[in-house]
Chains A and B, each alone.
Chain A
Protein backbone atom coordinates (compact mmCIF):
# COMPACT_ATOMS: atom_id res chain seq x y z
CA UNK A 1 0.00 0.00 0.00
CA UNK A 2 1.42 3.39 -0.96
CA UNK A 3 2.49 5.87 1.70
CA UNK A 4 0.61 8.71 0.07
CA UNK A 5 -2.77 8.89 -1.60
CA UNK A 6 -3.27 8.05 -5.27
CA UNK A 7 -4.11 11.70 -5.84
CA UNK A 8 -0.70 12.71 -4.53
CA UNK A 9 1.17 10.37 -6.79
CA UNK A 10 -0.74 10.58 -10.04
CA UNK A 11 -0.49 13.51 -12.40
CA UNK A 12 -4.16 14.41 -12.75
CA UNK A 13 -3.24 17.81 -11.39
CA UNK A 14 -2.30 18.35 -14.99
CA UNK A 15 0.80 20.31 -14.24
CA UNK A 16 3.03 18.31 -16.47
CA UNK A 17 1.12 19.73 -19.43
CA UNK A 18 2.88 21.99 -21.87
CA UNK A 19 0.64 24.84 -20.74
CA UNK A 20 2.44 24.92 -17.42
CA UNK A 21 5.85 24.04 -18.83
CA UNK A 22 5.82 27.23 -20.86
CA UNK A 23 5.15 29.12 -17.65
CA UNK A 24 8.10 27.47 -15.98
CA UNK A 25 10.39 28.41 -18.83
CA UNK A 26 9.20 31.97 -18.57
CA UNK A 27 9.92 32.01 -14.84
CA UNK A 28 13.51 31.05 -15.51
CA UNK A 29 14.09 33.77 -18.07
CA UNK A 30 11.45 36.48 -17.79
CA UNK A 31 11.53 39.47 -20.12
CA UNK A 32 12.20 42.83 -18.56
CA UNK A 33 12.43 46.00 -20.62
CA UNK A 34 15.65 47.13 -19.02
CA UNK A 35 17.05 44.22 -17.01
CA UNK A 36 16.43 41.36 -19.42
CA UNK A 37 15.41 42.63 -22.85
CA UNK A 38 16.19 39.27 -24.45
CA UNK A 39 14.07 37.29 -22.02
CA UNK A 40 10.89 35.35 -22.72
CA UNK A 41 7.79 37.52 -23.13
CA UNK A 42 4.85 36.13 -21.24
CA UNK A 43 1.89 35.72 -23.56
CA UNK A 44 0.49 32.60 -21.93
CA UNK A 45 -1.03 34.35 -18.95
CA UNK A 46 -4.61 35.50 -19.25
CA UNK A 47 -4.39 38.50 -16.97
CA UNK A 48 -6.03 41.89 -17.32
CA UNK A 49 -3.45 44.52 -16.49
CA UNK A 50 -4.99 47.31 -18.51
CA UNK A 51 -7.09 49.07 -15.93
CA UNK A 52 -5.25 49.23 -12.65
CA UNK A 53 -5.11 53.00 -12.78
CA UNK A 54 -8.90 53.08 -12.49
CA UNK A 55 -8.80 50.86 -9.41
CA UNK A 56 -6.00 52.84 -7.81
CA UNK A 57 -7.75 56.13 -8.35
CA UNK A 58 -10.89 54.73 -6.72
CA UNK A 59 -8.82 53.68 -3.73
CA UNK A 60 -7.36 57.17 -3.43
CA UNK A 61 -10.87 58.60 -3.28
CA UNK A 62 -12.15 56.05 -0.78
CA UNK A 63 -9.79 55.95 2.18
CA UNK A 64 -12.31 54.35 4.53
CA UNK A 65 -12.67 51.19 2.48
CA UNK A 66 -8.93 51.11 2.12
CA UNK A 67 -8.26 51.05 5.84
CA UNK A 68 -10.83 48.84 7.55
CA UNK A 69 -13.08 51.76 8.40
CA UNK A 70 -16.75 52.51 8.08
CA UNK A 71 -17.85 56.08 8.66
CA UNK A 72 -14.46 56.80 10.11
CA UNK A 73 -14.75 54.01 12.69
CA UNK A 74 -12.44 51.05 12.63
CA UNK A 75 -14.20 47.79 11.94
CA UNK A 76 -11.03 45.76 11.89
CA UNK A 77 -12.17 43.51 14.70
CA UNK A 78 -15.52 42.72 13.13
CA UNK A 79 -13.89 41.89 9.82
CA UNK A 80 -11.13 39.81 11.40
CA UNK A 81 -13.76 37.72 13.20
CA UNK A 82 -16.19 37.40 10.32
CA UNK A 83 -15.97 33.83 9.01
CA UNK A 84 -19.61 33.17 8.20
CA UNK A 85 -19.71 31.14 5.03
CA UNK A 86 -22.79 33.05 3.89
CA UNK A 87 -20.42 35.92 3.21
CA UNK A 88 -20.80 39.62 3.96
CA UNK A 89 -24.35 40.44 2.74
CA UNK A 90 -23.32 43.80 1.29
CA UNK A 91 -20.61 42.14 -0.72
CA UNK A 92 -22.89 39.54 -2.24
CA UNK A 93 -25.44 42.19 -3.11
CA UNK A 94 -22.79 44.33 -4.77
CA UNK A 95 -21.48 41.31 -6.65
CA UNK A 96 -24.85 40.23 -8.03
CA UNK A 97 -25.56 43.82 -9.05
CA UNK A 98 -22.22 43.91 -10.85
CA UNK A 99 -23.03 40.68 -12.64
CA UNK A 100 -26.38 42.13 -13.64
CA UNK A 101 -24.77 45.29 -14.94
CA UNK A 102 -22.40 43.23 -17.08
CA UNK A 103 -25.44 41.55 -18.59
CA UNK A 104 -27.00 44.88 -19.46
CA UNK A 105 -29.43 44.42 -16.58
CA UNK A 106 -31.37 41.94 -18.69
CA UNK A 107 -31.20 39.48 -15.82
CA UNK A 108 -31.15 39.97 -12.10
CA UNK A 109 -29.60 37.68 -9.52
CA UNK A 110 -30.64 36.88 -5.97
CA UNK A 111 -27.73 37.16 -3.50
CA UNK A 112 -29.17 34.22 -1.57
CA UNK A 113 -28.44 31.98 -4.52
CA UNK A 114 -24.81 32.94 -4.57
CA UNK A 115 -21.96 31.11 -2.87
CA UNK A 116 -18.56 32.77 -2.45
CA UNK A 117 -15.47 30.66 -3.13
CA UNK A 118 -11.72 31.07 -3.28
CA UNK A 119 -11.53 31.89 -6.97
CA UNK A 120 -13.25 30.24 -9.92
CA UNK A 121 -10.81 27.36 -9.44
CA UNK A 122 -12.54 26.49 -6.19
CA UNK A 123 -16.01 27.27 -7.59
CA UNK A 124 -15.64 24.78 -10.42
CA UNK A 125 -14.27 22.05 -8.18
CA UNK A 126 -16.99 22.62 -5.60
CA UNK A 127 -19.71 22.37 -8.23
CA UNK A 128 -18.24 19.06 -9.36
CA UNK A 129 -18.34 17.75 -5.79
CA UNK A 130 -21.99 18.77 -5.63
CA UNK A 131 -23.14 17.49 -8.98
CA UNK A 132 -21.04 14.43 -9.73
CA UNK A 133 -18.77 11.72 -8.40
CA UNK A 134 -16.46 8.88 -9.45
CA UNK A 135 -17.90 7.18 -12.50
CA UNK A 136 -19.57 10.36 -13.74
CA UNK A 137 -18.50 12.66 -16.54
CA UNK A 138 -19.01 16.21 -17.70
CA UNK A 139 -18.95 17.10 -21.39
CA UNK A 140 -16.76 20.05 -22.36
CA UNK A 141 -16.46 21.67 -25.77
CA UNK A 142 -12.88 21.72 -27.06
CA UNK A 143 -10.65 23.62 -26.98
CA UNK A 144 -10.95 24.32 -23.26
CA UNK A 145 -8.98 25.95 -20.42
CA UNK A 146 -6.17 23.53 -19.41
CA UNK A 147 -6.82 24.13 -15.70
CA UNK A 148 -10.14 22.28 -16.00
CA UNK A 149 -8.30 18.98 -16.00
CA UNK A 150 -7.21 19.74 -12.48
CA UNK A 151 -10.20 21.71 -11.26
CA UNK A 152 -12.90 19.31 -12.44
CA UNK A 153 -11.21 15.94 -12.22
CA UNK A 154 -8.31 15.71 -9.82
CA UNK A 155 -9.80 15.35 -6.36
CA UNK A 156 -13.35 14.70 -7.43
CA UNK A 157 -12.78 11.60 -9.55
CA UNK A 158 -15.08 13.00 -12.24
CA UNK A 159 -14.11 12.52 -15.90
CA UNK A 160 -14.15 15.02 -18.77
CA UNK A 161 -15.40 13.86 -22.17
CA UNK A 162 -14.69 16.35 -24.97
CA UNK A 163 -17.30 17.78 -27.33
CA UNK A 164 -15.13 18.08 -30.42
CA UNK A 165 -15.35 21.44 -32.15
CA UNK A 166 -13.52 22.31 -35.32
CA UNK A 167 -12.32 25.27 -37.28
CA UNK A 168 -14.61 24.31 -40.16
CA UNK A 169 -17.47 26.10 -38.43
CA UNK A 170 -15.36 28.39 -36.24
CA UNK A 171 -15.39 25.95 -33.34
CA UNK A 172 -19.08 26.29 -32.66
CA UNK A 173 -20.87 23.55 -30.74
CA UNK A 174 -23.08 21.41 -32.94
CA UNK A 175 -25.86 19.01 -32.09
CA UNK A 176 -24.02 16.09 -33.61
CA UNK A 177 -20.88 16.90 -31.63
CA UNK A 178 -22.94 16.92 -28.43
CA UNK A 179 -24.55 13.58 -29.25
CA UNK A 180 -21.22 12.10 -30.25
CA UNK A 181 -19.68 13.13 -26.93
CA UNK A 182 -22.64 11.74 -25.02
CA UNK A 183 -22.24 8.39 -26.78
CA UNK A 184 -18.51 8.41 -26.19
CA UNK A 185 -19.10 8.76 -22.47
CA UNK A 186 -21.47 5.82 -22.50
CA UNK A 187 -18.95 3.71 -24.36
CA UNK A 188 -16.54 4.40 -21.53
CA UNK A 189 -19.19 3.40 -18.99
CA UNK A 190 -19.43 6.91 -17.68
CA UNK A 191 -22.65 8.49 -16.56
CA UNK A 192 -23.01 11.95 -18.04
CA UNK A 193 -24.04 14.45 -15.35
CA UNK A 194 -23.80 17.63 -17.36
CA UNK A 195 -22.15 19.99 -19.80
CA UNK A 196 -19.70 22.70 -18.81
CA UNK A 197 -19.12 25.66 -21.09
CA UNK A 198 -16.98 28.75 -20.74
CA UNK A 199 -18.79 31.75 -22.11
CA UNK A 200 -17.05 33.88 -23.31
CA UNK A 201 -14.75 31.08 -24.33
CA UNK A 202 -11.26 30.49 -23.12
CA UNK A 203 -9.21 30.01 -25.31
CA UNK A 204 -11.29 31.12 -28.30
CA UNK A 205 -12.08 34.65 -27.11
CA UNK A 206 -15.59 34.45 -28.57
CA UNK A 207 -19.04 34.75 -27.04
CA UNK A 208 -21.52 31.98 -27.58
CA UNK A 209 -24.34 32.61 -29.97
CA UNK A 210 -27.93 32.47 -28.90
CA UNK A 211 -28.37 29.51 -31.22
CA UNK A 212 -25.66 27.57 -29.41
CA UNK A 213 -27.17 28.41 -26.03
CA UNK A 214 -30.58 27.27 -27.26
CA UNK A 215 -29.06 24.07 -28.49
CA UNK A 216 -27.44 23.47 -25.13
CA UNK A 217 -30.65 24.10 -23.23
CA UNK A 218 -32.49 21.66 -25.50
CA UNK A 219 -29.77 19.10 -25.02
CA UNK A 220 -29.65 19.25 -21.23
CA UNK A 221 -33.44 19.23 -21.07
CA UNK A 222 -33.68 16.12 -23.19
CA UNK A 223 -30.91 14.33 -21.31
CA UNK A 224 -32.00 15.68 -17.91
CA UNK A 225 -28.51 16.80 -17.00
CA UNK A 226 -26.82 19.92 -15.67
CA UNK A 227 -25.29 22.89 -17.43
CA UNK A 228 -22.50 24.90 -15.86
CA UNK A 229 -21.69 28.19 -17.53
CA UNK A 230 -18.31 29.56 -16.47
CA UNK A 231 -18.79 33.26 -17.19
CA UNK A 232 -15.50 34.44 -15.75
CA UNK A 233 -14.78 36.54 -18.87
CA UNK A 234 -18.26 38.09 -19.11
CA UNK A 235 -16.95 41.58 -18.37
CA UNK A 236 -14.28 41.40 -21.09
CA UNK A 237 -16.62 41.50 -24.08
CA UNK A 238 -15.29 44.40 -26.12
CA UNK A 239 -17.17 44.26 -29.40
CA UNK A 240 -20.22 42.83 -31.06
CA UNK A 241 -21.96 40.50 -30.93
CA UNK A 242 -22.49 41.29 -27.26
CA UNK A 243 -22.63 38.87 -24.39
CA UNK A 244 -25.73 36.72 -24.03
CA UNK A 245 -25.91 34.99 -20.67
CA UNK A 246 -27.47 31.56 -20.34
CA UNK A 247 -29.83 33.04 -17.74
CA UNK A 248 -31.09 35.52 -20.30
CA UNK A 249 -31.92 32.76 -22.76
CA UNK A 250 -33.72 30.74 -20.09
CA UNK A 251 -35.71 33.80 -19.17
CA UNK A 252 -36.58 34.62 -22.78
CA UNK A 253 -37.79 31.09 -23.28
CA UNK A 254 -39.87 31.36 -20.10
CA UNK A 255 -38.13 28.46 -18.48
CA UNK A 256 -38.02 30.01 -15.01
CA UNK A 257 -39.27 27.67 -12.29
CA UNK A 258 -39.12 24.68 -14.59
CA UNK A 259 -36.92 21.65 -13.96
CA UNK A 260 -34.16 22.81 -16.23
CA UNK A 261 -33.95 26.15 -14.42
CA UNK A 262 -32.61 24.38 -11.36
CA UNK A 263 -30.00 22.57 -13.38
CA UNK A 264 -28.24 25.61 -14.79
CA UNK A 265 -25.40 26.99 -12.67
CA UNK A 266 -23.08 29.90 -13.24
CA UNK A 267 -19.49 30.34 -12.14
CA UNK A 268 -18.06 33.83 -11.82
CA UNK A 269 -14.90 35.51 -10.55
CA UNK A 270 -13.26 38.93 -10.34
CA UNK A 271 -9.90 37.64 -11.55
CA UNK A 272 -10.34 38.57 -15.18
CA UNK A 273 -12.89 41.38 -15.33
CA UNK A 274 -11.32 43.40 -12.54
CA UNK A 275 -7.85 41.95 -12.89
CA UNK A 276 -7.64 40.81 -9.27
CA UNK A 277 -6.59 37.13 -9.40
CA UNK A 278 -4.54 37.48 -6.23
CA UNK A 279 -7.62 38.29 -4.16
CA UNK A 280 -9.25 34.90 -4.83
CA UNK A 281 -12.81 35.99 -5.39
CA UNK A 282 -15.01 33.39 -7.01
CA UNK A 283 -18.70 32.64 -6.94
CA UNK A 284 -21.20 29.93 -7.73
CA UNK A 285 -24.70 30.97 -8.68
CA UNK A 286 -27.43 28.36 -8.72
CA UNK A 287 -31.22 28.31 -8.73
CA UNK A 288 -31.25 24.97 -6.95
CA UNK A 289 -31.43 25.57 -3.18
CA UNK A 290 -29.91 22.16 -2.45
CA UNK A 291 -26.88 22.99 -4.57
CA UNK A 292 -26.61 26.40 -2.92
CA UNK A 293 -26.84 24.82 0.54
CA UNK A 294 -24.28 22.11 -0.18
CA UNK A 295 -21.89 24.45 -1.95
CA UNK A 296 -22.16 26.98 0.87
CA UNK A 297 -21.07 24.38 3.38
CA UNK A 298 -18.24 23.30 1.11
CA UNK A 299 -17.07 26.85 0.75
CA UNK A 300 -15.67 26.46 4.27
CA UNK A 301 -12.70 24.89 2.55
CA UNK A 302 -12.01 28.08 0.61
CA UNK A 303 -13.76 31.22 1.83
CA UNK A 304 -12.99 34.70 0.57
CA UNK A 305 -10.94 36.72 3.06
CA UNK A 306 -13.25 39.13 4.88
CA UNK A 307 -10.67 41.87 4.38
CA UNK A 308 -11.06 41.43 0.64
CA UNK A 309 -14.85 41.08 0.75
CA UNK A 310 -15.08 44.38 2.55
CA UNK A 311 -12.85 46.28 0.15
CA UNK A 312 -14.64 44.96 -2.92
CA UNK A 313 -18.07 45.42 -1.43
CA UNK A 314 -17.36 49.14 -1.16
CA UNK A 315 -15.86 49.26 -4.63
CA UNK A 316 -18.59 47.37 -6.43
CA UNK A 317 -21.36 49.25 -4.59
CA UNK A 318 -20.04 52.42 -6.20
CA UNK A 319 -22.21 52.27 -9.31
CA UNK A 320 -20.61 55.33 -10.84
CA UNK A 321 -17.28 53.57 -10.60
CA UNK A 322 -18.47 50.22 -11.99
CA UNK A 323 -20.12 51.88 -14.96
CA UNK A 324 -17.00 53.85 -15.79
CA UNK A 325 -14.73 50.89 -15.20
CA UNK A 326 -16.64 48.47 -17.40
CA UNK A 327 -16.85 50.97 -20.23
CA UNK A 328 -13.19 52.08 -20.15
CA UNK A 329 -11.94 48.55 -19.65
CA UNK A 330 -13.76 47.37 -22.75
CA UNK A 331 -12.37 50.18 -24.87
CA UNK A 332 -8.84 49.39 -23.78
CA UNK A 333 -9.27 45.69 -24.42
CA UNK A 334 -10.61 46.39 -27.91
CA UNK A 335 -7.71 48.69 -28.70
CA UNK A 336 -5.16 46.22 -27.41
CA UNK A 337 -6.70 43.27 -29.23
CA UNK A 338 -6.59 45.30 -32.45
CA UNK A 339 -2.88 45.90 -31.92
CA UNK A 340 -2.26 42.19 -31.56
CA UNK A 341 -4.36 41.37 -34.58
CA UNK A 342 -2.60 43.89 -36.83
CA UNK A 343 0.79 42.80 -35.54
CA UNK A 344 -0.05 39.21 -36.41
CA UNK A 345 -1.37 40.24 -39.79
CA UNK A 346 1.98 41.83 -40.63
CA UNK A 347 3.49 38.43 -39.96
CA UNK A 348 0.93 36.81 -42.21
CA UNK A 349 -0.88 35.21 -39.31
CA UNK A 350 -4.63 35.31 -38.85
CA UNK A 351 -6.83 34.72 -35.81
CA UNK A 352 -10.26 33.33 -35.11
CA UNK A 353 -12.44 36.43 -35.16
CA UNK A 354 -12.97 37.33 -31.52
CA UNK A 355 -14.93 39.80 -29.45
CA UNK A 356 -14.00 38.94 -25.85
CA UNK A 357 -11.40 37.62 -23.48
CA UNK A 358 -7.81 38.56 -22.82
CA UNK A 359 -6.31 36.53 -25.68
CA UNK A 360 -6.72 35.56 -29.30
CA UNK A 361 -6.95 32.13 -30.84
CA UNK A 362 -4.22 32.28 -33.41
CA UNK A 363 -4.02 30.20 -36.59
CA UNK A 364 -0.47 29.00 -37.24
CA UNK A 365 -1.40 25.91 -39.18
CA UNK A 366 0.45 27.21 -42.23
CA UNK A 367 3.68 27.30 -40.19
CA UNK A 368 3.56 23.63 -39.26
CA UNK A 369 5.93 21.27 -40.98
CA UNK A 370 3.11 18.74 -41.03
CA UNK A 371 -0.48 18.63 -39.94
CA UNK A 372 0.32 16.84 -36.70
CA UNK A 373 0.52 17.58 -33.01
CA UNK A 374 4.20 16.65 -33.08
CA UNK A 375 4.72 19.47 -35.55
CA UNK A 376 2.72 21.76 -33.31
CA UNK A 377 4.99 20.92 -30.38
CA UNK A 378 8.07 21.52 -32.52
CA UNK A 379 6.75 24.90 -33.56
CA UNK A 380 5.81 25.73 -30.00
CA UNK A 381 9.26 24.92 -28.69
CA UNK A 382 10.84 27.12 -31.29
CA UNK A 383 8.49 29.95 -30.35
CA UNK A 384 9.30 29.57 -26.64
CA UNK A 385 13.03 28.97 -26.88
CA UNK A 386 14.08 30.70 -30.06
CA UNK A 387 11.64 33.57 -30.45
CA UNK A 388 11.20 33.75 -26.70
CA UNK A 389 7.47 34.14 -26.55
CA UNK A 390 5.48 32.02 -24.14
CA UNK A 391 2.23 31.21 -25.89
CA UNK A 392 -0.08 28.24 -25.26
CA UNK A 393 -0.27 25.42 -27.81
CA UNK A 394 -3.73 24.25 -28.80
CA UNK A 395 -2.98 20.70 -27.75
CA UNK A 396 -2.70 21.85 -24.13
CA UNK A 397 -6.27 23.09 -24.55
CA UNK A 398 -7.33 19.72 -26.02
CA UNK A 399 -7.94 21.21 -29.44
CA UNK A 400 -8.81 18.54 -31.99
CA UNK A 401 -6.77 20.17 -34.76
CA UNK A 402 -3.08 21.00 -34.60
CA UNK A 403 -1.72 24.45 -35.37
CA UNK A 404 -3.76 26.76 -33.13
CA UNK A 405 -2.23 28.80 -30.29
CA UNK A 406 -3.65 31.02 -27.57
CA UNK A 407 -1.86 34.35 -27.36
CA UNK A 408 -2.62 36.78 -24.52
CA UNK A 409 -2.54 40.53 -25.02
CA UNK A 410 -3.71 42.21 -21.85
CA UNK A 411 -0.93 41.33 -19.44
CA UNK A 412 1.86 43.53 -20.80
CA UNK A 413 2.62 47.06 -21.87
CA UNK A 414 1.98 48.23 -25.44
CA UNK A 415 5.70 48.42 -26.09
CA UNK A 416 6.21 44.84 -25.01
CA UNK A 417 3.41 43.72 -27.28
CA UNK A 418 5.03 45.59 -30.15
CA UNK A 419 8.34 43.90 -29.47
CA UNK A 420 6.65 40.50 -29.31
CA UNK A 421 5.07 41.12 -32.71
CA UNK A 422 8.42 42.17 -34.14
CA UNK A 423 10.04 38.99 -32.92
CA UNK A 424 7.24 36.95 -34.42
CA UNK A 425 7.50 38.70 -37.75
CA UNK A 426 11.25 38.12 -37.88
CA UNK A 427 10.71 34.47 -37.14
CA UNK A 428 8.06 34.05 -39.81
CA UNK A 429 10.17 35.94 -42.34
CA UNK A 430 13.12 33.69 -41.64
CA UNK A 431 10.92 30.61 -41.92
CA UNK A 432 9.69 31.81 -45.30
CA UNK A 433 13.27 32.29 -46.42
CA UNK A 434 14.08 28.77 -45.28
CA UNK A 435 11.04 27.45 -47.05
CA UNK A 436 11.96 29.06 -50.32
CA UNK A 437 15.48 27.80 -49.91
CA UNK A 438 14.07 24.41 -49.16
CA UNK A 439 12.06 24.22 -52.36
CA UNK A 440 15.10 25.36 -54.34
CA UNK A 441 17.23 22.66 -52.71
CA UNK A 442 14.56 20.10 -53.24
CA UNK A 443 14.62 20.86 -56.91
CA UNK A 444 18.33 20.10 -56.80
CA UNK A 445 18.40 17.17 -54.38
CA UNK A 446 15.16 16.11 -52.70
CA UNK A 447 16.45 13.50 -50.24
CA UNK A 448 19.37 15.59 -48.97
CA UNK A 449 17.24 18.65 -48.10
CA UNK A 450 14.56 16.59 -46.36
CA UNK A 451 17.07 14.96 -44.09
CA UNK A 452 18.68 18.32 -43.28
CA UNK A 453 15.37 19.82 -42.21
CA UNK A 454 14.68 16.80 -40.09
CA UNK A 455 18.06 17.31 -38.52
CA UNK A 456 17.21 20.96 -37.71
CA UNK A 457 13.98 20.04 -35.95
CA UNK A 458 15.51 17.10 -34.15
CA UNK A 459 18.19 19.36 -32.71
CA UNK A 460 15.58 21.73 -31.29
CA UNK A 461 13.74 18.83 -29.74
CA UNK A 462 16.92 17.41 -28.27
CA UNK A 463 17.98 20.67 -26.67
CA UNK A 464 14.56 20.98 -25.01
CA UNK A 465 14.99 17.58 -23.42
CA UNK A 466 18.46 18.48 -22.18
CA UNK A 467 17.03 21.53 -20.52
CA UNK A 468 14.32 19.47 -18.90
CA UNK A 469 16.93 17.23 -17.29
CA UNK A 470 18.95 20.10 -15.86
CA UNK A 471 16.30 22.44 -14.69
CA UNK A 472 13.22 20.44 -13.65
Chain B
Protein backbone atom coordinates (compact mmCIF):
# COMPACT_ATOMS: atom_id res chain seq x y z
CA UNK B 1 0.00 0.00 0.00
CA UNK B 2 2.70 2.47 0.99
CA UNK B 3 4.84 1.25 -1.97
CA UNK B 4 2.02 2.06 -4.45
CA UNK B 5 1.58 5.46 -2.80
CA UNK B 6 5.30 6.26 -3.05
CA UNK B 7 5.38 5.30 -6.77
CA UNK B 8 2.38 7.53 -7.47
CA UNK B 9 3.96 10.47 -5.65
CA UNK B 10 7.30 10.14 -7.42
CA UNK B 11 5.49 9.88 -10.80
CA UNK B 12 3.82 13.22 -10.13
CA UNK B 13 7.15 14.67 -9.06
CA UNK B 14 8.59 13.61 -12.41
CA UNK B 15 5.76 15.14 -14.42
CA UNK B 16 5.60 18.53 -12.67
CA UNK B 17 9.05 19.62 -13.71
CA UNK B 18 8.32 23.23 -12.82
CA UNK B 19 8.33 22.30 -9.14
CA UNK B 20 11.21 19.83 -9.25
CA UNK B 21 14.45 21.84 -9.27
CA UNK B 22 17.42 19.82 -10.40
CA UNK B 23 19.92 20.31 -7.59
CA UNK B 24 22.57 18.27 -9.39
CA UNK B 25 23.32 21.22 -11.75
CA UNK B 26 26.02 23.47 -10.35
CA UNK B 27 25.69 27.21 -10.82
CA UNK B 28 28.60 29.49 -11.60
CA UNK B 29 27.69 32.09 -8.96
CA UNK B 30 27.83 30.80 -5.35
CA UNK B 31 24.68 31.38 -3.28
CA UNK B 32 24.97 34.36 -0.95
CA UNK B 33 23.04 34.21 2.30
CA UNK B 34 22.13 36.99 4.71
CA UNK B 35 22.50 37.27 8.44
CA UNK B 36 21.07 39.95 10.74
CA UNK B 37 23.40 40.85 13.59
CA UNK B 38 22.30 43.00 16.53
CA UNK B 39 24.95 44.74 18.63
CA UNK B 40 24.58 47.20 21.52
CA UNK B 41 27.31 49.76 22.10
CA UNK B 42 26.37 51.82 25.13
CA UNK B 43 22.94 53.29 24.42
CA UNK B 44 23.18 52.73 20.65
CA UNK B 45 21.77 49.52 19.11
CA UNK B 46 23.31 48.64 15.74
CA UNK B 47 21.31 46.22 13.56
CA UNK B 48 23.50 45.09 10.68
CA UNK B 49 22.53 43.00 7.68
CA UNK B 50 25.50 40.98 6.42
CA UNK B 51 25.66 39.36 3.02
CA UNK B 52 28.09 36.45 3.06
CA UNK B 53 28.74 33.15 1.26
CA UNK B 54 26.85 30.16 2.59
CA UNK B 55 28.66 28.33 5.45
CA UNK B 56 27.80 25.07 3.68
CA UNK B 57 29.39 26.03 0.39
CA UNK B 58 31.84 23.18 -0.19
CA UNK B 59 30.27 20.63 2.11
CA UNK B 60 27.13 19.63 0.20
CA UNK B 61 26.99 15.98 -0.84
CA UNK B 62 26.71 15.58 -4.63
CA UNK B 63 24.08 12.97 -5.33
CA UNK B 64 23.24 11.20 -8.56
CA UNK B 65 19.82 11.58 -10.16
CA UNK B 66 16.78 9.65 -9.14
CA UNK B 67 13.06 9.48 -9.54
CA UNK B 68 12.54 12.10 -6.82
CA UNK B 69 14.27 15.48 -6.91
CA UNK B 70 14.61 15.81 -3.16
CA UNK B 71 18.11 15.34 -1.71
CA UNK B 72 17.01 12.88 0.99
CA UNK B 73 15.32 10.56 -1.53
CA UNK B 74 18.46 10.63 -3.67
CA UNK B 75 20.77 9.92 -0.73
CA UNK B 76 18.93 6.72 0.31
CA UNK B 77 19.82 7.09 3.98
CA UNK B 78 18.19 5.33 6.90
CA UNK B 79 18.25 8.31 9.27
CA UNK B 80 17.74 7.53 12.96
CA UNK B 81 16.57 10.02 15.56
CA UNK B 82 20.08 9.86 17.09
CA UNK B 83 21.72 11.19 13.86
CA UNK B 84 21.77 14.71 15.24
CA UNK B 85 24.46 15.91 12.81
CA UNK B 86 22.05 15.31 9.90
CA UNK B 87 18.85 16.39 11.64
CA UNK B 88 20.39 19.65 12.91
CA UNK B 89 20.88 20.74 9.28
CA UNK B 90 17.11 21.09 8.97
CA UNK B 91 16.78 23.33 12.04
CA UNK B 92 17.15 27.03 12.75
CA UNK B 93 19.18 28.14 15.75
CA UNK B 94 16.05 28.22 17.92
CA UNK B 95 15.08 24.61 17.08
CA UNK B 96 12.38 25.38 14.48
CA UNK B 97 12.24 23.31 11.27
CA UNK B 98 13.18 24.98 8.00
CA UNK B 99 10.33 24.99 5.47
CA UNK B 100 10.35 22.76 2.39
CA UNK B 101 10.98 25.66 0.02
CA UNK B 102 14.33 26.23 1.78
CA UNK B 103 15.50 22.65 2.26
CA UNK B 104 14.16 21.37 -1.07
CA UNK B 105 12.93 18.00 0.25
CA UNK B 106 9.72 16.38 -0.85
CA UNK B 107 6.54 16.35 1.22
CA UNK B 108 6.94 12.81 2.58
CA UNK B 109 10.58 13.30 3.59
CA UNK B 110 9.71 16.59 5.29
CA UNK B 111 7.13 14.75 7.43
CA UNK B 112 9.67 12.07 8.28
CA UNK B 113 12.30 14.65 9.24
CA UNK B 114 9.67 16.49 11.30
CA UNK B 115 8.92 13.38 13.32
CA UNK B 116 12.59 12.41 13.71
CA UNK B 117 13.43 15.93 14.92
CA UNK B 118 10.54 15.75 17.40
CA UNK B 119 11.95 12.46 18.72
CA UNK B 120 15.47 13.87 19.00
CA UNK B 121 14.25 17.01 20.80
CA UNK B 122 12.17 15.00 23.25
CA UNK B 123 15.14 12.73 23.92
CA UNK B 124 17.14 15.88 24.75
CA UNK B 125 19.80 15.25 22.09
CA UNK B 126 19.86 18.79 20.65
CA UNK B 127 19.69 21.11 23.67
CA UNK B 128 21.75 23.88 22.03
CA UNK B 129 19.18 24.35 19.22
CA UNK B 130 16.47 25.79 21.44
CA UNK B 131 14.83 29.20 22.02
CA UNK B 132 16.93 31.59 24.09
CA UNK B 133 14.35 31.51 26.91
CA UNK B 134 14.42 27.70 27.29
CA UNK B 135 16.31 25.64 29.84
CA UNK B 136 19.19 24.25 27.82
CA UNK B 137 19.93 21.32 30.14
CA UNK B 138 17.45 18.40 29.68
CA UNK B 139 17.93 17.51 33.36
CA UNK B 140 16.24 20.76 34.40
CA UNK B 141 12.98 19.82 32.69
CA UNK B 142 9.82 19.12 34.66
CA UNK B 143 8.59 15.66 35.67
CA UNK B 144 9.13 12.75 33.30
CA UNK B 145 10.78 14.97 30.67
CA UNK B 146 14.06 15.06 32.57
CA UNK B 147 14.68 11.34 32.17
CA UNK B 148 16.32 9.60 29.22
CA UNK B 149 14.08 8.48 26.38
CA UNK B 150 14.69 6.63 23.14
CA UNK B 151 12.35 6.15 20.20
CA UNK B 152 11.63 3.50 17.58
CA UNK B 153 11.82 4.92 14.03
CA UNK B 154 9.62 2.14 12.64
CA UNK B 155 6.64 3.82 14.33
CA UNK B 156 6.79 6.57 11.67
CA UNK B 157 4.06 5.34 9.36
CA UNK B 158 4.11 7.93 6.56
CA UNK B 159 7.43 7.06 4.97
CA UNK B 160 9.26 3.79 5.30
CA UNK B 161 13.08 3.83 5.57
CA UNK B 162 14.83 3.22 2.32
CA UNK B 163 16.29 -0.17 3.23
CA UNK B 164 12.81 -1.70 3.10
CA UNK B 165 11.05 0.46 0.49
CA UNK B 166 13.69 0.72 -2.24
CA UNK B 167 14.70 -2.94 -2.09
CA UNK B 168 11.14 -3.93 -2.95
CA UNK B 169 11.31 -2.02 -6.27
The answer to whether A and B come from one shared complex is no
